[in-house]
Amino acid sequence: MGNLMSMSTDLGWVADAMKQTVPWVSTAGVEFVEVAADRVVCSLPDAPEQRNHVGGPHAAVLFGLAETASGAVGLASFAAEMGRATPLVVRSEISYRKLALGPLTAEAVLSRPAAEVIAELDAGTRPEFAVKCTIRNAEGTTTAEMTVVWTLKPTVR
């Protein structure tokens, strides 16, 4: 079990970094509920101006919530590599399971050990890693699932 002080420190650092570097995160109202190196949970309040024609959050908002959580996983997992590589999305796939209504959470989980990704970067390749995301409503029902594949693009010096 990790030190609670370091977890709260990590939470503040990742949340602040995401909000500073990705203005959409603050604009949309995304909050960071839990942050660990391989798992992040974000929340999004129910905002009438972000709804679709059936009263739930627009698909773009669901996508953005999960993508934001996945990006925070990448930042938390690979913070030490940011001086030599830039995280970029390669591809994403989302499946809508049930009508999403009300406030939502997105849980994002790194799909393989960070050490494997770092070893590939060390070997001179451009590694890819998937982050699995689950979007749930306030009752905990899964409303969408998404996989975001990221790469760490080596910085050209």
CATH number for the domain that contains residue 8: 3.10.129.10
Overall domain count for the chain: 1
Residue 128 contacts residue 89 (beta carbons within 8 Å): no
Task: Give SS3 for 33.
Answer: strand
Cβ neighbours, 10 Å, residue 109: 17
- pLDDT tens figures, 117-126: 999 999 999 9
Q: Where in the sequence is the domain holding 15, given as residue range(s)?
A: 4-20+29-154
**Residue 8, pLDDT above cutoff 50:** no
- pLDDT tens figures, 75-108: 999 999 999 999 999 999 999 999 999 999 999 9
11-25, 44-58, 84-98: which range is least confident on average?
Answer: 11-25
Q: Roughly what angle, to the nearest 10 degrees, separates helices 114-122 and 59-78?
A: 70
pTM of the model: 0.90
Token pair for residue 25?
């995160």
